């Protein structure tokens, strides 16, 4: 008998007999609801509590704020999406500036070394965001691949306030992830990369970005 069949066989013929599934009452999760302004405040507070930056901007001035932040952080080059509107707008706004615009337009194998050591920052949009935990929800794709939000030392994320959901549970249910079908990789990001493995002392950027900068467009 294969290991698979042997294991399943033991599980099916349980000595103490079949088990009954208890009821799962999700109300403690679903009743967590806040107003729009509370959601935004909570989102900001939670991200800031884990060393992330939040800037409240408008749909009109966010690119100005981005330029300001890029200058302040001395970003020399920026990895941007080619198709997502956030990328298109950023490329247009920065076309004549000092910041070199990079694109993730080939498989990682072709430029691994460059991505790992030559990119200062990346900018992405998000699929949605979670107020309760200060979380960005991303489904990386061909235009905004997985390593874009992981390898460069700074990650700029652009969030619309209208994308804020109360909880992770609400995101899964209201966006109907099960029926839509899960992507290769779905991702929650809540702050910059961190570790406390050396004597419980927090240090940022251990493997991923050292800075997470969130622009919330209202």
Partner 1 sequence: MGHNASPQQNGVGEFHPRVHDAITNPQIRANFRKAMDGLMEKRQQAFPSDEELERTRELAAAIRLRALSKLPELLEKLEANLIAQGVKVHWAENGDEACKIILDICNGKNAKSVIKGKSMVSEEMELNHYLEEHGIEALESDLGEYIVQLAEETPSHIIMPAIHKNTEQISDLLHEKTGTQKSRDVEYLTAEARQQLRERFEKADVGVSGVNFAVAETGTLCLVENEGNGRLTTTVPPVHIAVTGIEKVVENLEDVAPLLSLLTRSATGQHITTYFNMISSPRKEGELDGPEEVHLVLVDGGRSNIYQDDELLDTLRCIRCGACMNHCPVYTRIGGHAYGYTYPGPIGKILMPHLAGLDDAKDLPSASSLCGACGEVCPVKIPIPKLLVRLREESVAGDHRHDNSVVKGRGAKRKGMEPLIWKGWAKMHKHGGLYRSGTGLATVLWGLLPDALLSKGMGAWMSCRTMPKLAKTTLHQQMKTRQQVQASDNNQRENAGDL
Site stretch for partner 1 (CB under 8 A), options 21-29, 58-66, 75-83, 94-102: 21-29
The residue within the footprint of partner 1, chosen from 14, 35, 72, 95 (CB under 8 A), is 14
By beta-carbon proximity to partner 1, the closer residue of 63 and 164 is: 164
Q: Which of residues 115-174 bind partner 1 (CB under 8 A)?
A: 116, 132-135, 141-142, 145-147, 150, 167-169, 172-173
Distance of alpha carbon 78 from alpha carbon 91, whole angstroms: 9
Distance of alpha carbon 7 from alpha carbon 170, whole angstroms: 36
Distance of alpha carbon 167 from alpha carbon 165, whole angstroms: 6
Nearest to 136 by CA among 186, 91, 89, 185: 186
SS3 state at 80: strand
Smallest gap from residue 41 Cβ to partner 1 (A) = 15
DSSP H stretches of helix in 95-181: 112-118, 168-174, 177-180
Smallest gap from residue 80 Cβ to partner 1 (A) = 14
Q: Which of residues 22-61 bind partner 1 (CB under 8 A)?
A: 22-29, 46, 49-50
Q: Which of residues 75-114 bind partner 1 (CB under 8 A)?
A: 104-108, 112-113
Distance of alpha carbon 191 from alpha carbon 211, whole angstroms: 8
SS3 state at 90: helix
Site stretch for partner 1 (CB under 8 A), options 72-80, 93-101, 118-126, 203-211: 203-211
Q: H or E segment at 79?
A: strand 77-80
Q: Residue 49 is encoded by which pair of tokens?
A: 């509590």
Site stretch for partner 1 (CB under 8 A), options 33-41, 56-64, 72-80, 200-208: 200-208
Interaction mask 172-191, partner 1, x per CB under 8 A? xx---xx--xxxxxxxxxxx
Smallest gap from residue 64 Cβ to partner 1 (A) = 29
């Amino acid at each position: 008998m294969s290991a698979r069949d042997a294991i399943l066989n033991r599980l099916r013929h349980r000595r103490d007999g079949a088990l009954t599934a208890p009821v799962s009452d999700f109300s403690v999760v679903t009743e967590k609801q806040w107003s729009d302004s509370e959601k935004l405040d909570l989102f900001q507070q939670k991200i800031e509590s884990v060393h992330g930056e939040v800037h409240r901007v408008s749909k009109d001035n966010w690119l100005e704020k981005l330029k300001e932040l890029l200058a302040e952080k001395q970003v020399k080059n920026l990895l941007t999406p080619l198709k997502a509107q956030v990328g298109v707008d950023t490329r247009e706004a920065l076309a004549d500036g000092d910041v070199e615009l990079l694109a993730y337009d080939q498989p990682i194998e072709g430029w691994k070394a460059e991505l790992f050591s030559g990119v200062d920052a990346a900018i992405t949009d998000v699929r949605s965001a979670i107020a309760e935990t200060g979380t960005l929800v991303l489904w990386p794709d061909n235009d905004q691949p997985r390593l874009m939000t992981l390898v460069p030392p700074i990650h700029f994320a652009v969030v619309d306030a209208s994308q804020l959901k109360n909880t992770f549970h609400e995101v899964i249910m209201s966006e109907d992830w099960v029926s839509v079908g899960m992507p290769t990789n779905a991702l929650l990001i809540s702050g910059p990369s961190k570790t406390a493995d050396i004597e419980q002392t927090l240090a940022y950027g251990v493997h991923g970005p050292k800075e997470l900068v969130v622009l919330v467009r209202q």
